[in-house]
């Protein structure tokens, strides 16, 4: 590992934060972010940093404090105020107390805050306070854990680190660890760092740079030691997936496997209208990870606990293991049986684990659902589950680094070893760990993946924005080009990580299948389909060009059929029902002269959707229609339909564009301007399933009596 310290960047940090927060805290922030930017050191809120400093209280007296990272902050992005100042003397005096539980520690820390409204400091604040050095860094370095998490790991760490590094056997994190760290430093005050067995590594220094570069040095020692024994260090480079169609995975079978796994991981709710609480998947298909899954002995090596117990709330104690051959991947029935068997076996083992330790469960803590968060599939990769894409990404990042570190253990000829099972249980159900998980109320479409066709147009883009606002993950599809590209960028700005742009030609069966495959590779499957793509054409029947009519048939009718067919098959494989919403039109019920091609083909699409309500209801797939009228644009995206129809309508009525919009507004009973946002709300309403409704058509037209469905 190389130091990423830059004098220029350090000076920039001081210039940015120093005046308000002080140079020491500015540099503390700078090096904290350097540590947080290395996935091989810390992941998603792991690790901790602190600085001891002197501040002036309101009476003008000097006061020693320790500014320590607050619980819940991520080192990669922590701001200066993310290091909470705590009075140092009261925390140091805690050493005189033999035992405190977590709640008591938190109470003492909050009593020592300078600002009672500040977030709670890390539970490891006493550890940092009892280290008699100004700057302290703590990480979960993979290279160090690859040594400590082996049979005989303490001896390996000592051999790798040298005499100036203290090696502690595993100590349960918390107050017990604070005492152990202080005692060890009393015995070896000249040490430059400390390794906590099966937990992590700590360094310190008089300056932020010294502490940071000692961390780099210790990790480099571990890497060099492993390399000397034939192992390469775990790769730390990782770039999140792009917001365009995912590249081919190591095994294209993942597009078939992921929806079945996702369906098996959905939890039943007992609600007849919304019977499942779904998860979102992130697939880890890096070549080295896939190769590690196929190595001899991979199951015994990898179906083991995570590198550090801090990860348990994300990963559970063990991954599930799913063996599949090509025949099982290709056969829907065999695939469903294999996935169901693997998930059921994991759940049975997890229930037995809970039963063995239920007496240790803290009051007020509920066990997690018996559902794995990582499913290892040799030949495919790791399928990682979360409540949404952000949660799934955290699990995937941890799983990726864990496999790589365990590969180092294997390359060294070692045997992976974790902490005892009772410690796993205690950490997995530790109230402070559970407090790190989000407590906010989920938005109505959380965990749902919705594919929208014709997304780059006025109505489509409005639907995508509305679904994102309601918490959905949106697969925005349209013909390739600037329209789709610019929409994808805009949607990502609204909800980073929950928008995927996929080129799609609804008239091409392979393109339709590919869009569902892209969604499955990205998030594990699709729960809702909004059939919105459509074309318009103005012509009297007597002058109708047959090729023009057939062009509308291909998009409006064939495209609808292909999407209904693919959705039906996809929902059947996923096994958790689904929703389809067709964007129909008032012209189905009240067609207009000169608009026969559009009215007839949209009526055919509408009829296909009504038939789908009959055929798909047994699988709990609901099909509903929305029928908007006169949506001219959304933001800067004009309606393709009105681009086609508008000139003729303006000419016939001797109106300009503004006058035409006013004409259509004034003809409805409510005198309402109909927008894409209105359509989006209607689509979302159906997807939320507030009532047991299928086969309904909801007009969004301000009231047009002739177009009322009947």
Is 658's pLDDT higher than 90?
no
Average pLDDT over residues 362-369: 92
> How many Cβ atoms from other residues are within 10 Å of residue 275's Cβ?
15
Which one of the listed residues 238, 598, 663, 664 is annotated catalytic? 598
Is 641's pLDDT higher than 90?
no
Is 248's pLDDT higher than 80?
no
- Cβ contact 450:473 at 8 Å: yes
> Does residue 276 have an active-site annotation?
no
pLDDT at position 239, please? 37
Which secondary-structure segment (H or E) carries 76?
A: none
pLDDT category at 250 given cuts 50, 70, 90 is very low
Average pLDDT over residues 419-446: 86
Look at strands 374-377 and 320-321 and give their pairing.
parallel
**Count of residues making up the chain:** 710
Is 657's pLDDT higher than 80?
no
Which secondary-structure segment (H or E) carries 130?
A: none
Is 234's pLDDT higher than 70?
no
pLDDT at position 659, please? 76
pLDDT at position 237, please? 43
**Sequence-distant contacts of 58-64: CB under 8 A, at least 24 apart:** 63/87, 63/114, 64/88, 64/89
Please report which residue ranges of 639-700 form alpha helices under DSSP H.
Answer: 640-653, 657-667, 676-688
3-state secondary structure of 343: helix
pLDDT category at 660 given cuts 50, 70, 90 is confident
pLDDT at position 646, please? 63
Average pLDDT over residues 239-268: 68
What is the Cα–Cα distance from 244 to 241, expressed in whole angstroms? 8
Instruction: Determine which of 35-39, 49-53, 234-238 has the lowest per-residue pLDDT on average.
Output: 234-238
Average pLDDT over residues 380-408: 95
pLDDT at position 218, please? 98
Instruction: Determine which of 225-234, 289-298, 361-370, 413-422 has the lowest per-residue pLDDT on average.
Output: 225-234
pLDDT category at 667 given cuts 50, 70, 90 is confident
> How many Cβ atoms from other residues are within 10 Å of residue 67's Cβ?
28
- Cβ contact 476:464 at 8 Å: yes
What is the Cα–Cα distance from 452 to 490, expressed in whole angstroms? 15
Nearest CA to 130 out of 47, 35, 196, 204 is that of: 204
Q: Strands (DSSP E) along 458-567, which ranges?
A: 473-478, 499-503, 528-531
Is 296's pLDDT higher than 60?
yes
Model's pTM, two decimal places?
A: 0.91
What is the Cα–Cα distance from 622 to 632, expressed in whole angstroms? 29
- Cβ contact 50:83 at 8 Å: yes
67-93 pLDDT, tens digit each: 999 987 899 999 999 999 999 999 999
Is 236's pLDDT higher than 70?
no
- Cβ contact 476:465 at 8 Å: no
Is 108's pLDDT higher than 50?
yes
pLDDT at position 649, please? 66
Supply the mean pLDDT for the chain.
Answer: 92
What is the Cα–Cα distance from 502 to 504, expressed in whole angstroms? 6
Average pLDDT over residues 576-601: 93
3-state secondary structure of 156: helix
pLDDT at position 233, please? 66
What is the Cα–Cα distance from 590 to 708, expressed in whole angstroms? 8
Alpha-carbon distance values, 564 to 568, 578, 647, 679 (Å) = 6, 12, 33, 20
- Cβ contact 42:63 at 8 Å: no
531-575 pLDDT, tens digit each: 999 998 989 999 999 999 999 999 999 999 999 999 999 999 999
Residue 446 makes CB contacts below 8 A (sequence gap 6+) with: 387, 388, 471, 472
Is 528's pLDDT higher than 50?
yes
Is 440's pLDDT higher than 70?
no
pLDDT at position 632, please? 74
**Sequence-distant contacts of 298-302: CB under 8 A, at least 24 apart:** 298/378, 301/406, 301/409, 301/410, 301/416, 302/376, 302/403, 302/406
Is 319's pLDDT higher than 90?
yes
Q: Which domains does the chain have, with CATH numbers?
A: 7-228 (3.40.225.10), 254-434 (3.40.225), 449-641+672-702 (3.40.50.720)
pLDDT at position 174, please? 87
Give the tokens for residue 590.
């009240």
């Amino acid at each position: 590992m190389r130091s990423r310290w830059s004098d220029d960047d350090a000076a920039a940090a001081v210039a940015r934060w120093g005046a308000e927060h002080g140079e020491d805290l500015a540099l503390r922030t700078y090096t904290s972010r350097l540590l947080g930017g290395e996935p091989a050191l810390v992941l998603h809120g792991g690790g901790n940093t602190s600085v001891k400093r002197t501040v002036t209280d309101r009476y003008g007296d000097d006061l020693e404090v320790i500014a320590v990272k607050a619980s819940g902050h991520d080192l990669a992005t922590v701001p200066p105020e993310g290091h909470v100042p705590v009075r140092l003397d009261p925390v140091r005096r805690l050493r005189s107390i033999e035992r405190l539980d977590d709640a008591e520690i938190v109470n003492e820390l909050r009593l020592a805050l300078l600002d009672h409204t500040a977030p709670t400091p890390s539970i490891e604040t006493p550890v940092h306070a009892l280290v008699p050095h100004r700057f302290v860094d703590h990480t979960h370095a993979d290279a160090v854990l690859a040594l400590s998490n082996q049979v005989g790991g303490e001896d390996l760490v000592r051999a790798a680190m040298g005499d100036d590094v203290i090696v502690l056997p595993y100590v349960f994190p918390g107050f017990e660890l604070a005492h152990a760290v202080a005692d060890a430093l009393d015995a070896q005050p000249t040490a430059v760092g400390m390794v906590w067995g099966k937990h992590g590594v700590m360094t310190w220094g008089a300056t932020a740079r010294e502490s940071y570069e000692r961390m780099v040095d210790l990790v480099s020692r571990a890497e060099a030691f492993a390399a000397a024994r034939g192992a390469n260090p775990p790769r730390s480079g990782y770039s999140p997936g792009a917001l365009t169609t995912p590249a081919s995975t190591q095994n294209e079978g993942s597009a078939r496997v992921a929806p079945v796994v996702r369906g098996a991981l959905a939890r039943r709710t007992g609600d007849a209208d919304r019977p499942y609480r779904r998860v979102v998947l992130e697939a880890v298909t890096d070549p080295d990870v896939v190769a590690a899954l196929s190595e001899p002995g991979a199951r015994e090596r990898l179906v083991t606990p995570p590198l550090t117990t801090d990860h348990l709330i994300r990963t559970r104690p063990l991954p599930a293991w799913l063996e599949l051959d090509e025949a099982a991947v290709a056969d829907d029935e065999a695939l469903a049986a294999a996935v169901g068997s693997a998930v059921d076996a994991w759940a049975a083992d997890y229930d037995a684990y809970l039963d063995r330790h239920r007496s240790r469960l803290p009051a007020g803590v509920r066990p997690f659902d018996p559902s794995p968060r990582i499913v290892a599939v040799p030949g495919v990769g790791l399928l990682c589950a979360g409540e949404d894409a952000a949660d799934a990404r955290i699990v995937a990042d941890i799983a990726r680094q864990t496999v790589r570190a365990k590969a180092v253990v294997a390359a060294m000829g070692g045997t992976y070893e974790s902490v005892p099972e009772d410690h796993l249980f205690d950490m997995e159900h530790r109230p402070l760990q559970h407090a790190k998980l989000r407590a906010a109320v989920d938005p109505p479409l959380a965990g749902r993946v919705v594919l929208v066709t014709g997304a780059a147009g006025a109505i489509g883009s409005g639907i995508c924005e509305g679904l994102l606002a309601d918490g959905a993950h949106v697969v925005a599809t349209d013909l390739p080009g600037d329209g789709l590209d610019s929409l994808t960028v805009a949607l990502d700005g609204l909800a980073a990580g929950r928008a995927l742009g996929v080129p799609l030609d609804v008239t091409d069966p392979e393109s339709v299948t590919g869009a569902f495959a892209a969604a499955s590779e990205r998030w594990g499957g699709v729960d809702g389909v909004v059939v919105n793509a459509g074309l318009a054409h103005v012509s009297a029947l007597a002058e109708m060009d047959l090729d023009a009519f057939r062009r509308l048939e291909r998009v409006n009718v064939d495209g609808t059929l292909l999407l209904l067919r693919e959705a039906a098959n996809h929902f059947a494989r996923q096994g958790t029902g689904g929703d389809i919403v067709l964007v129909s039109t008032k012209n189905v019920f009240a067609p207009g002269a000169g608009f026969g091609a559009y009215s007839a083909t949209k009526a055919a699409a509408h009829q296909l959707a009504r038939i789908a309500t009959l055929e798909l209801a047994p699988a709990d797939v609901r099909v509903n229609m929305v029928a908007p009228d006169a949506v001219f644009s959304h933001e800067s995206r004009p309606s393709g339909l009105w681009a086609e129809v508008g000139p003729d309508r303006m000419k016939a009525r001797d109106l300009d564009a503004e006058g035409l919009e006013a004409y259509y507004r004034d003809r409805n009973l409510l005198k309402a301007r109909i927008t894409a946002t209105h359509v989006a709300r209607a689509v979302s309403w159906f997807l939320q399933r507030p009532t047991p409704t299928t086969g309904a058509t909801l007009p969004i037209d301000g009231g047009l009596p002739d177009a009322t469905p009947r």
